Amino acid sequence: MRKGYLFVFMAASTWGTLGIFARYLDDFGLDAFTMVFYRVLFALIFLSAYLRLVGVGFSIAPSRLKFYALYGFFSIFLFYTLYFYTVTISSVSFAVLLLYTAPVYSILLGRLLFGERLTPEKIAALFMVLFGVLLVNGPNGGFSTRALVFGLLTGFTYALYGVLAKFAVSKEEPEKALFYTLLFGLLFLTPFSRFSVPMGALPYLFALALLPTFFGYILYNHALKEVEVSKASIVATVEPVVAIILAFILFGETLTWLQILGAVLIIGGSILVHLGDGKSEKEGSQM
């Protein structure tokens, strides 16, 4: 059990480096599409080798390809690109905190798609996250309207990622689901990406694919064999904390006291949603 929590912590910590890599790659003049294209390409190479090693294989029902095309479009093409773009036009701290508005959308999507009831915890989380966003953006609009809009869209596509993942792993192994999602995402990215990149950017692209993409996902997947999803999600909220700390150390990014309060509300709202999910799981298991 302890190993499972450690794996979640390690996975979330690697995800906290995503914005850091985006900032470094932006200095090389790479646009968000190109960053994500090479991230996905290298990750697919690593994942292909891993699937062969563990003997999972690549077979899939042809009828599932339409679903993975949709999954790849929203969860790779849109989500990854929107997140990296938001980092480049605002800051790592701002982008990762707006990423964690996803629980708001998850609550609304859960209500609309699955008929999930609005519990007091979910309603409280909605107000916490919304008020937190107002504080993070500052009373005078600390970042541009464009950054705010793209940041909120990142949170929405992150929520879609979670919803679509439920449909994916119900039919395929998680690693195989990731492979086809990345594959279709790569196809959507190809027309918008530049294939020529500075040599100095390649180590960052390689590390981006290896650490937060490949290792992060494999660690989290193995952790879920020992840890409940709701509990793992709570531990995973270390991601924005790691991102904010690294952004301060590496780039000197700082938050005002109001923004720190907003960050606490956003992260706290996310934790509250997952605590509610854990409570629902226990009640369901007793019925």
Contact between 16 and 211 (Cβ < 8 Å): no
Confidence (pLDDT) at 267: 94
Confidence (pLDDT) at 286: 33
- State percent of the chain over pLDDT 90: 59
- State percent of the chain over pLDDT 70: 93
pTM equals 0.90
Confidence (pLDDT) at 222: 81
- C-alpha pair distances (Å), 218 with each of 22, 50, 225: 21, 10, 11
Closest among 72, 93, 37, 39 to 206, alpha carbons compared: 39
Dihedral sign of CA atoms 71, 76, 78, 83 in order: positive
pLDDT-based confidence at 48, cuts 50/70/90? very high
Look over the chain and give the mean of its residue pLDDT values, rounded to a whole number: 88
Confidence (pLDDT) at 119: 83
66-102 tens-digit pLDDT: 999 999 999 899 999 999 999 999 999 999 999 999 8
Q: Which two tokens stand for residue 84?
A: 């990296």
Cα 277 to Cα 60: distance, rounded to the nearest angstrom: 31
Number of C-beta neighbours around residue 270 at 10 A: 26
Provide mean pLDDT across the span 185-202. 96
Q: Which two tokens stand for residue 211?
A: 């650490």
Confidence (pLDDT) at 278: 58
